[in-house]
C-alpha cells in the first residue's frame, strides 16, 4: 500500500502593508501551474469559530485588550484552524499556504507587545506540538513604506491603529525570527516593484521544491 506524502506548510509574514495578500495570490498561482494541490488560509481565522475570534481581535470598539488576552486569542484561533483545516489537509498530502502563522505571534505579541518569548514558545508547543512551517516567506519593507501602501484601504482595524514605533518593533521581531531560523525563513525584499518581488518569490519556491525528496522539475 502506498503512503500519502504529507503536504508542506508555506507561510507568508511581514508587517503592515508589505504585500502578503497580493503575493499570496502569486504563490497560489505558482503552485497551480505545477499542479500542486493546495489550501489557501489565513490567520487569525480560517474556520467559522476562528473567524469569530478574528473579528474580536480586530474590533476597534472594544475595551483595551491586554497583551496576554491577545496572545491567547491568537493561539485559540490557531488551535481551531489547525485541528479543523490545516492538519487534515497536510495529512491528505495537500499543501497549505497561510497568510500569517505563529511567527506573527512572536513578532506582534512578543516583539511588539513585549510578551516574553518563552511564554509564546510554551503556548506554541501546546497548540502545535512540533509542527512548524516548512517554508516561511518574510516580506520586508521599511515600515513607513508599508504603512503608506496600507493607507489606501478602508477604515483601520485595531492593529492598524498602532503607532509607527510598534511596527518598527514588529519588523525587528521578524528579522530576529529570520536569523534564528535561516533554513525555514526566507527574507524577500518587498520594497521593490511587484514584478521584482515575485521574481524573488519564484526563486525561493523553485529552490524549495528542488530540495524536496523525489522532486519532479
Kindly list the residues in this chain that would bind ligand Z5A in the complex (CB under 6 A). 14, 16-22, 43-44, 74, 99-100, 104-105, 108-109, 149-150, 152, 159-160, 190, 193-194, 197
- What is the closest distance, in whole angstroms, from the C-beta atom of residue 159 to ligand Z5A in the complex? 3
Task: Work out how close the CB of 197 gets to ligand Z5A at its nearest, in angstroms, rounded to a whole number.
Answer: 5
User: Is the CB of 94 or the CB of 109 nearer to ligand Z5A?
Assistant: 109
| For ligand Z5A, the closer CB: 93 or 156 | 156
Instruction: Kindly tell me which of 33 and 152 has the beta carbon lying closer to ligand Z5A.
Output: 152
What is the DSSP track for 31-77?
Answer: HHHTT--EEEEESS-SSHHHHHHHHHHH-SSSPPPPHHHHHHHHHHH
C-alpha cell at 155: 477604515
From CA 65, how far away is CA 185, in angstroms rounded?
30
Question: Which distant-in-sequence residues (6+ apart) come within 8 Å of 167 by Cβ?
Answer: 15, 16, 112, 143, 146, 147
Output 95 or 108, the one with its CB closest to ligand Z5A: 108
160 exposure class (CB count in 10 Å sphere: 0-12, 13-18, 19+): middle
Q: Supply 173's cell numbers.
A: 521581531
Min dist CB 116 to ligand Z5A, Å, is 16
Q: How far is the CB of 42 from ligand Z5A (least distance, A)?
A: 6
Amino acid at each position: 500500500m502506498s503512503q500519502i506524502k504529507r503536504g508542506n506548510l508555506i507561510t507568508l509574514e511581514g508587517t503592515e502593508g508589505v504585500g502578503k495578500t497580493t503575493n499570496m495570490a502569486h504563490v497560489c498561482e505558482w503552485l497551480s501551474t505545477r499542479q500542486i494541490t493546495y489550501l489557501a488560509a489565513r490567520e487569525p481565522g480560517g474556520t467559522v469559530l476562528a473567524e469569530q475570534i478574528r473579528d474580536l481581535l480586530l474590533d476597534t470598539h472594544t475595551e483595551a485588550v491586554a497583551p496576554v488576552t491577545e496572545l491567547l486569542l491568537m493561539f485559540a484561533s490557531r488551535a481551531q484552524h489547525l485541528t479543523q483545516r490545516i492538519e487534515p489537509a497536510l495529512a491528505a498530502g495537500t499543501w497549505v499556504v497561510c497568510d500569517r502563522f505563529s511567527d506573527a505571534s512572536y513578532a506582534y505579541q512578543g516583539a511588539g507587545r513585549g510578551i516574553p518569548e518563552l511564554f509564546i514558545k510554551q503556548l506554541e508547543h501546546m497548540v502545535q506540538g512540533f509542527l512548524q512551517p516548512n517554508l516561511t516567506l518574510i516580506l520586508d519593507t521599511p515600515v513607513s513604506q508599508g504603512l503608506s501602501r496600507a493607507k489606501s484601504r478602508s477604515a483601520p482595524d485595531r492593529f492598524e491603529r498602532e503607532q509607527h514605533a510598534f511596527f518598527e518593533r514588529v519588523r525587528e521581531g521578524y528579522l530576529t525570527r529570520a536569523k534564528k531560523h535561516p533554513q525555514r525563513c526566507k527574507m524577500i525584499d518587498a520594497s521593490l516593484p511587484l514584478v521584482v518581488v515575485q521574481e524573488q518569490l519564484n526563486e525561493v519556491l523553485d529552490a524549495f521544491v528542488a530540495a524536496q525528496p523525489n522532486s519532479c522539475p
